[in-house]
Structure 1
Amino acid sequence: MSGSINLSQVRTARWLPGLLLMLLFSLSACQPVQAPAASAIPAFTIAVSDDAVSAPEVVPGGIVRVTIQNNSSIPMDIGLARVLEGSTSEEVIALAQGGEEAFIPLLTKASFLPSVNPVDPGAERWFYVDLRTGVFVVDAAEHVEGMPGAGALHLNAVFSADEIVGVTEPVADVAVDMVNFAYAMPDEIQAGPQLWQFTNSGEQWHMMFVVDLAEGAGV
């Protein structure tokens, strides 16, 4: 069955076996152990209601703190994507509605940024990201496990970052270096709130997905 593509829930298509797509993830709900001064990093908020996504038309470029608020009545999956040069936000939004066959074309039009899912009603999440400059799409849909079904309602907003403002890097507790599908990171990580930094030092486009294993489960 063909369904729409939620930018916050990128999944492998059935016709592309063996492709493991990893979703870039930051521990957005956690307060960093060593937070930079509040005024050092620009911030803005994206709010989702039952029928709309609200975001500033223009946001600071560079390193920013993004807060996602779910003011709707249902759990939501909310993702961001950068519109690639030569493409338009209208094309990205249309392809996100296009089902599994539109997945590869979508990758030629947009670059996925951090996402948060699910976000419960009344909850908020946040993360740091280096937006640089460009045009961005917000995609929000009701939380589901797996690919949203055909006809799933997507709410969208478009914003731009025209000028580099944020140049202060937050202090990370854990650094993960992604090098051509290998991961350089500590073997052991302390429990508790942390800020993770993900860097792609390889030559290939990279994504990463972090999961919490159920008790008794193995890798």
Structure 2
Amino acid sequence: MRQTRRAIALFLLVCSILVPLPVGARQAAANPFAELGLPELAVTITDTAIEGAPAERTAGRYVLAVTNDSTAGAPPVVSAGVGFLQPPEGMTAADLIAFFATMATGPDGGASPVASPGAAAEMEGPPPWYYEVPLAGGIYALPGETAYTVLDLAAGEWVLWAEDPTAPRPPVAITVTGEAPANQPVPEADVTITMTEMAFALDQPLAAGPQIIALTNEGQQPHFLVLATVPDGTTVDDVLQLSMTFMDPSATPPPNLSFEQMQDIANTADLSAGITNWFSVDLESGSYLLVCFVPDQETGIPHAMLGMIDVVTVP
């Protein structure tokens, strides 16, 4: 149990550490999907809770608005977010929340130790059911900001969680009933990013300026996307070499890249096979990292280490 919890914490922590951010107040962005007329599901993340989540909703397409009101700590400052998942067969939402609670506490009821650099050799992958349950996606927001994504919720019990069983924000149960309306509005995407094993495929290059991205998982395993700025000239090998310094403190970092040079632009929650989310970005010219760190179902190796990583240039 402890090894599984620490493994999940590690891959989420690696993802977060790869996208440090400068500290500072930020303004909430306007809802880029307002003209679609979709219902909004707004939640606020604090240091200790996920607030505002409704107990019930009807099935359908929603704009999920995530406001990050957590305290910005010492650098690296990272985004915080939420994702939707359904309980595995034989579990209720309450059962799953209780399961996460046992992973977040030690044998004496206190907080479990957080995964640390150099601990990777002791860890196993996520529970087997993680690769089987529906994961509807979600979004992360920077401290002081609101981020938006469009996602679909089917009927059933859902758990809205911080995607880290060690997080101090308890998951929230949401019951979704009924059937999704026919002919729901579809956001008009400027770019579609398709995730498979193990690659990102863009139907056209990213461009400078505001744009809507459709992110779809056409693979068999869960995937997520972190989109971050990197210095011009950065290569995939540079990023992988840098990430190894977290996994192994004795590893040598690349000479031209540090965590402090990377800035989070977008960070999605996990999407299971066949799921699409839509989100917006406003890009400047430069170089950008696309990466997924979900552990491979068979080997436990992060997807990035198996090729699910790319560096692209926005002219």
TM-score by length of 2: 0.49
CA–CA distance in 2 between the matches of 1:138 and 1:177? 24
> Which residue matches 2:85?
82
Q: What is the CA-CA distance between 1:107 and the residue it aligns to?
A: 0.6
Q: Which has the higher strand share?
A: 1
Q: Is the alpha carbon distance of 1:190 and 1:6 closer, same or farther for their aligned partners in structure 2, counting shifts above 3 Å? A: farther
> Which residue matches 1:159?
174
RMSD: 3.7
> Which residue matches 1:123?
145
Q: Which has the higher helix share?
A: 2
Q: Please tell me whether the aligned partners of residues 6 and 139 of structure 1 are also in contact (alpha carbons under 8 angstroms).
A: no
Three-state SS of the structure 2 residue aligned to 1:11 is helix
Structure 1 runs (4+) deviating above 4 angstroms are 1-7, 29-32, 99-102
> Which residue matches 1:107?
130
Q: Is the alpha carbon distance of 1:115 and 1:185 closer, same or farther for their aligned partners in structure 2, counting shifts above 3 Å? A: same
TM-score by length of 1: 0.67
Q: CA deviation digits over 1:64-121, x for unaligned, max 9? A: 101012233346622212214623223433444527557224516743333434530x
What are structure 2's unaligned runs of at least 5 residues?
13-28, 73-77, 105-122, 237-315
Three-state SS of the structure 2 residue aligned to 1:195 is strand
The reply on whether 1:195 has 2:217 as its aligned counterpart is no
Alignment of 1:54-93 (within 5 A): 54=51, 55-74=53-72, 77-84=80-87, 86=89, 87-93=91-97
What are structure 1's unaligned runs of at least 5 residues?
13-28, 142-146
Three-state SS of the structure 1 residue aligned to 2:134 is strand
Q: Is the alpha carbon distance of 1:130 and 1:152 closer, same or farther for their aligned partners in structure 2, counting shifts above 3 Å? A: closer
CA–CA distance in 2 between the matches of 1:6 and 1:123? 29
> Which residue matches 2:116?
none
Per mean C-alpha deviation after superposition, the further-off stretch among 86-95 and 63-72 is 86-95
Q: Is the alpha carbon distance of 1:128 and 1:183 closer, same or farther for their aligned partners in structure 2, counting shifts above 3 Å? A: same
**Percent of aligned pairs sharing the same letter:** 22
CA–CA distance in 2 between the matches of 1:109 and 1:185? 26
> Which residue matches 2:35?
37
Q: Is the alpha carbon distance of 1:37 and 1:211 closer, same or farther for their aligned partners in structure 2, counting shifts above 3 Å? A: closer
Three-state SS of the structure 2 residue aligned to 1:194 is strand
Three-state SS of the structure 2 residue aligned to 1:92 is helix
Q: Which has the higher contact order (CA 8 A, sep 6+)?
A: 1
Q: Please tell me whether the aligned partners of residues 7 and 125 of structure 2 are also in contact (alpha carbons under 8 angstroms).
A: no
Q: Please tell me whether the aligned partners of residues 6 and 96 of structure 1 are also in contact (alpha carbons under 8 angstroms).
A: no
Q: Is the alpha carbon distance of 1:211 and 1:83 closer, same or farther for their aligned partners in structure 2, counting shifts above 3 Å? A: same
- What is the aligned length? 191
Q: CA deviation digits over 1:23-74, x for unaligned, max 9? A: xxxxxx7865xx57342x1212112234332211112422210101223334
Alignment of 1:177-196 (within 5 A): 177-196=194-213
Q: CA deviation digits over 1:137-173, x for unaligned, max 9? A: 12238xxxxx78xx65232211122122482211111
Pick the structure with greater CA Rg.
2
Q: Is the alpha carbon distance of 1:6 and 1:59 closer, same or farther for their aligned partners in structure 2, counting shifts above 3 Å? A: farther
Amino acid at match of 2:64: V
CA–CA distance in 2 between the matches of 1:186 and 1:30? 27
> Which residue matches 1:53?
50
